[in-house]
Structure 1
């Protein structure tokens, strides 16, 4: 190859890196767009894979203003909830880390939207060893953990330790049926009339992805 031709090729590669990012020259790097995931038909995504848009902190108690449940901090366009990255987003994954401070408010992240309708919620989670998290459905919490070690559902046959597992929650008339990889966790979890979807950090590290919801009649 002539020296001039070699220079042209190098300039093309350099432009590709500048215009399209490092992914254009690096295989194996998965971004929120490159993983190819889209919500199932009829579902809408509650997590865009890029940042915490649509998620917030809510007031914890009703002892002072604002009232309990009110949005007190909105993370629209932000990739982390605070300086220490208690909740952070990278490569299509929402990572939840254990909140060590005495005020446990930052242990709970909620959707800005609330859901009074019947719905189906699906999401995938991956737990570190002994991790303890939770999924708030309107208000009540479904334990989401490294189940076989941390319980309470430690007899699951299909749970995959330190791998991706799917939670599915079907809400009908104030009652939720909750499964993990098709195995029943809770058959009749009682719910209030409306509320947001929330995620909790309690111990260890939990990762969530592909959070989607479909409204039912």
Structure 2
């Protein structure tokens, strides 16, 4: 079930195209071996107790709250996707249009929720505080693909930021943000709490043209 906030304009148009093929203009943001191009951001109290590392070809986040942040940016119109696994009762988030150089445990910007079975009722693919899904379309501890397509477009004569979210290639919803707080920015992933372990691999982005002239 999708819960709508007052600001939401959602079109569940399932006939829309699925994920773009990897050979069609995507750029990798993870080399599969190191954290090159990524930085951990955390409050002073959590810097020594939160951990991001690469194991078996995947980035693994564990420990206390922090962000894994990419200083590359800022991205404005794009398709951003990653293969992700979250443990049972774990919680994380995929951030986009995040402001430069966040200095706390959780960044500002849009957050696409990563949550299969955590106690938070807002599940995977939800656009936090904007569009809430009650059920995840994947099981815990299995890799799945999460994708956000973000583009500034004209909608009914007004400029909006259009956000389409897909899990495993299936469109979950389309959201129109009429008053976007974040115009462009960076990408990041959230380490939520000591009980959460998130794994991320095959991180890719494809830049899109603005449809607003």
> TM-score interval w.r.t. the shorter chain?
0.5 to 0.7
> How many pairs are equivalent?
152
| TM-score normalised over the length of structure 1 | 0.61
Unaligned runs of 5+ in 1: 1-37, 61-81
Contact 2:151 2:163 in 1 (8 A): yes
| TM-score normalised over the length of structure 2 | 0.62
Residue number in structure 1 paired with 2:63: 98
User: Measured at CA, do residues 58 and 98 of structure 1 come closer, stay the same or move farther in structure 2, by a change above 3 Å?
Assistant: closer
Contact 1:131 1:150 in 2 (8 A): no
Structure 1 or 2: larger helix share?
1
Q: Compare relative contact order (CA 8 Å, sep 6+) and give the higher one, 1 or 2.
A: 2
Q: How does 1:123-162 map to 2 (within 5 A)?
A: 123-138=82-97, 139-147=109-117, 150-153=120-123, 154-156=134-136, 158-162=137-141
Residue number in structure 2 paired with 1:175: 162
Contact 2:91 2:118 in 1 (8 A): no
Report the alpha carbon displacement of residue 177 of structure 1 after superposing the two structures with TM.
Answer: 1.7
Contact 2:58 2:200 in 1 (8 A): yes
Contact 1:137 1:191 in 2 (8 A): no
Structure 1 or 2: larger strand share?
2
Contact 2:94 2:190 in 1 (8 A): yes
C-alpha distance in structure 1 between counterparts of 2:149 and 2:90, whole Å? 24
Root-mean-square deviation (CA, aligned residues, Å) is 2.7
Q: Which runs of 4+ in 1 moved over 4 A?
A: 82-85, 147-150
Unaligned runs of 5+ in 2: 1-20, 98-108, 124-133, 153-160
Residue number in structure 1 paired with 2:38: 55
